[in-house]
Structure 1
Amino acid sequence: MAREAGVSLATASRVLNGSSIRKVSTALAEHVRDTADALGYLPNAPAQALARAATATVGILLHDVSDPYFAALARGACDSVVAAGLMPLVVNTDGDPATELRGVRMLHAQRVQAIVLAGSGYTDAEAAVRLDVALAEYRADGGSVAAVTDHGPAYHTVRPANRTGAAELTRALLALGHRDFAVITGPSRLRVPGERLAGVRQALAEAGVELPESAVLRSEFTREGGRRAMASLLGGDGGGRVPTAVLALADVCAVGALAACRERGVRVPEDVSVAGFDDIPLAEDLSLPLSTVRIPLTLMGAEAVRLALRTPADTVGSFDAPVQVVLRSTTAAPRR
C-alpha cells in the first residue's frame, strides 16, 4: 500500500495507525487514506494492538554499573520503577555512544514504557544526532524519555548543578587560603567533566587565580585514572612540584589520587588538600573522609523515572538537583 501511495512505510503507518508525536500533513494523510480505500486495505486491528502495547518494563541506560556514581543513580531509578509496579531493564553501555545507541534500539524493540538515560551526554555531535533519531522513533511509538544531565529540550531532564557545585567547592578552598590548584578532570568525550571544569575556572577567575593548562590533567572517571593522574602530577619519583589543592572532579578519581599520595609519602591534607565531587557512599567511609560536593544521586534516579512515567505526553518536565559542599578531613588551610 505504501508503494502505491508513493510514501515510506513509516509515513503510511503514522497515517493509518495514528501517531501523537509525528504528524503528517492533512493533504498527504488524505492521499494515503484514499490509496488505502482504493486498494481495499484494512489495518490488522489485533496486530495494531500488539504493536502499540507497551510491556511492564522501563529501560535504564548507564555508563558503568560498577561505578558507585551510576550504581546510586540506578538504585534510585530501579526503586522508583518497582514502586510503580513495573520491572527495570538495566543496560550497561561502558560509556560508548555506539553501545548506548544499540541499547536504545533494543529497548524500543522490547516496547518498554520509558527509557531513562542515566549518564553524561557525549560531546560528539554526530553521535548525539544518531541517538536523537533513535529516541525520536521510540517516542513516535508512544515511549517516554528522561535524561540525567541535559540531552536537549525534547526530553524530560534531571539537572545536577555540576558547574555551580564545582564553583562552590573551589570558592570553599579559596576561603581556606589556597591559591595553587590542580584539577583532575574526566575525558573530553563527556559533557559532565566540561561542566565541572568550567565551574572551577569560573571561581578561580573571579578570585584572580590562574589555572595553567599544565595543571589540568585528563583521565577516565575511575580510581585508576585518578591514581595515574595524581602520580603524574607528583612526578614519578615523588619529586614533582605539588600544588596545595587538587580537585578531582569525581569521587572515584579522588580515591585514586589519595592512593597515589599514600604511595609517594605525600601527606593529606598537610602537604596537599584533595577534594572530589558526587559524595558517593564510600566518600565518608575512607580512613580520611573525603571533602566533596554532595548531589542526591538516588533521588536523581528516582526523579528521572517519575518524570518519564507521570508527566503528560505533551509536557517536558525537569528537576533541578541541589548541590552542597561538604568539607571533611582531606582538606585544610595550606601550610606553605
Structure 2
Amino acid sequence: MAVTLGDVARHAGVSLATASRVLNGSARTVTEELSAKVRASADALGYLPNAPAQALARATGATIGVLLHDVADPYFGAIARGVGDAAARAGLLSLVTSTDGDPERELHAIRMLHAQRVRAIVLAGSGYTDPDAGRRIDEALAAYRDQGGIVTAITDHGPGYGTVLPDNRGGAAELTTALLGLGHRRIAVVTGPERMRVAQERLEGVLEAAAAAGLGGEEVLVERAEFTRDGGRAAVARILDRADRADRAGGAGVRPSVVVALSDICAAGVLAELRERGIAVPEEISVAGFDDIPLATDLAPALSTVRLPLADMGAEAVRLALDPAAGSGDGRQVLVAAEVVLRASTAQAP
C-alpha cells in the first residue's frame, strides 16, 4: 500500500496541512524543526510526493470559500460581511455558499471548493452532532488540506482546525442568570435542531444555569425548531397551545414568564406570534434572543440578547487562515467573549 501524506503527518506528529507545506513546496512558512521532522518521517516511510498536490500547494489562489447555513439569516450575513471585508483587504475574493444546514450539501460544497483550488475554506455554519456526517466532512476537508489548503472555523468543528470560538455556553448561562435575577422561574427555551452543535451548546448553558438556581424540568420547557423566523413562531405557538389546553382541562397549564430563543431570528418569530395573539411583551411574557444581529434593536420592543461581534469573528477567521505567524490556523483557538444586553423585551416577572 502506498504511503500517504497522512501517514507522514501521523509519524511526524504534525497536522496534514503542515506536512503538505513542507513536502509540497508551499510558500507558507514552517519552522526548521518541524520541517526536519516531516522530511525525516517521509524518508523513513518512503513517501513519494504527489505532483498535482505540489502544484496546488504552490498555487496562489485568489479566493476564500465561505460555507454557511443561510445567507439570508442576518447572523450569517454579518459573519460573511466580516469575511468579505478581510478578504478584500488581503486582495482576495470571498465565495459564499449556503448549505441550509444540510451535511450532504456541505460535503458537496467542500469538494467543489477543493476542485476550484480556493486558498482557504472558512466554515461559518454550526458543526454537526451526527458522528457519521462529521466524519465524512472531516475526510473531505482532510483531502483538501492534504493538498495544501487551509481550513478555519467559526464555532467548534473539532480539533485540528484554526477556530474562532464564541462562548455560546457561557453566554447562554449568563443570560439565564440575568433572567432569573428578574424573578423568572418558568422559562421556555426555543432551541435549534439537535444536529447543530451551536444549538446544543447554547441549550446546555441555559440548563446549567437553571439547574444551579434549583429549577427542574417542569420549570424549563425546551422546544426545538429550525433557527428561522418561522421556526421561532411555530415553536412558541406550540408552547402556548399546550399551556392553554392544560388550562382548559383543569391541569397546571401555566404559561412561561419568559421565552428564550437561542437565535435572534427565532426571537423575531416569537415576538410576531405573541403580538398576533395579543400577548403584551414584556408585561405578560418577556422575550430574549442570542447573537445581537442588527435587527435586534429595530424589533418592537427592542430585543434583549447575547451580543457576539459577528463581523469581527468572520474577519478573525480570515486572519487565522492567512497569517503565517498564526500558523495558518492549525489547531489554534481564538476565544470570543459573549455579552448579555438587556433591552425593553425583558422585565421583572409578572
Q: Shift in Å at residue 19 of structure 1?
A: 4.0
Structure 2 residue aligned with 1:204: 210
Q: Of 57, 62, 76, which residue of structure 1 is paired with 2:63?
A: 57
Structure 1 residue aligned with 2:23: 18
Q: Could you tell me how far apart the structure 1 residues matched to 2:226 and 2:186 are?
A: 23
Structure 1 residue aligned with 2:250: none
TM-score by length of 1: 0.87
* Residue-by-residue CA offset, 1:202-237 (whole Å, 9 max, x unaligned): 111111112339811000000000000111111189
Q: Shift in Å at residue 54 of structure 1?
A: 3.4
Distance 1:303 1:185, change over 3 A: same
**Alignment partner of 1:235: what SS?**
helix
Structure 2 residue aligned with 1:3: none
Structure 2 residue aligned with 1:164: 170
In structure 2, give the amino acid aligned to 1:18: L
Quick check: 1:184 aligned with 2:190? yes
Distance 1:277 1:313, change over 3 A: closer
Q: Of 89, 102, 118, which residue of structure 2 is paired with 1:96?
A: 102
Give the aligned CA root-mean-square deviation in angstroms.
2.8
In structure 2, give the amino acid aligned to 1:232: R
Which deviates the most, 118-127 or 304-313? 304-313
In structure 1, give the amino acid aligned to 2:23: G
Distance 1:135 1:185, change over 3 A: same
**Alignment partner of 2:278: what SS?**
coil
Identity, % of aligned pairs? 56
Which deviates the most, 203-212 or 90-99? 203-212
Q: Could you tell me how far apart the structure 2 residues matched to 1:44 and 1:334 are?
A: 67
Q: Could you tell me how far apart the structure 1 residues matched to 2:124 and 2:136 are?
A: 18
TM-score by length of 2: 0.83
Q: Shift in Å at residue 140 of structure 1?
A: 1.4
* Residue-by-residue CA offset, 1:102-123 (whole Å, 9 max, x unaligned): 1111111111111100010000
Q: Could you tell me how far apart the structure 2 residues matched to 1:283 and 1:168 are?
A: 18
Q: Shift in Å at residue 26 of structure 1?
A: 2.8
Q: Shift in Å at residue 282 of structure 1?
A: 0.3
Q: Of 228, 250, 272, which residue of structure 1 is paired with 2:263?
A: 250
Unaligned runs of 5+ in 2: 7-18, 26-34, 246-252
Contact 1:234 / 1:241 at 8 angstroms: preserved in 2?
no
Unaligned runs of 5+ in 1: 1-5, 34-42
Q: Shift in Å at residue 317 of structure 1?
A: 2.2
Structure 2 residue aligned with 1:29: 46
Q: Could you tell me how far apart the structure 1 residues matched to 2:330 and 2:130 are?
A: 27
Q: Of 318, 334, 339, which residue of structure 2 is paired with 1:319?
A: 334
* Residue-by-residue CA offset, 1:112-159 (whole Å, 9 max, x unaligned): 111100010000101111111111111111111100001122100001
**Alignment partner of 1:215: what SS?**
strand
**Alignment partner of 2:64: what SS?**
strand
Q: Could you tell me how far apart the structure 2 residues matched to 1:158 and 1:107 are?
A: 21
Contact 1:201 / 1:211 at 8 angstroms: preserved in 2?
no
Q: Of 145, 154, 172, which residue of structure 1 is paired with 2:151?
A: 145
**Alignment partner of 1:58: what SS?**
strand
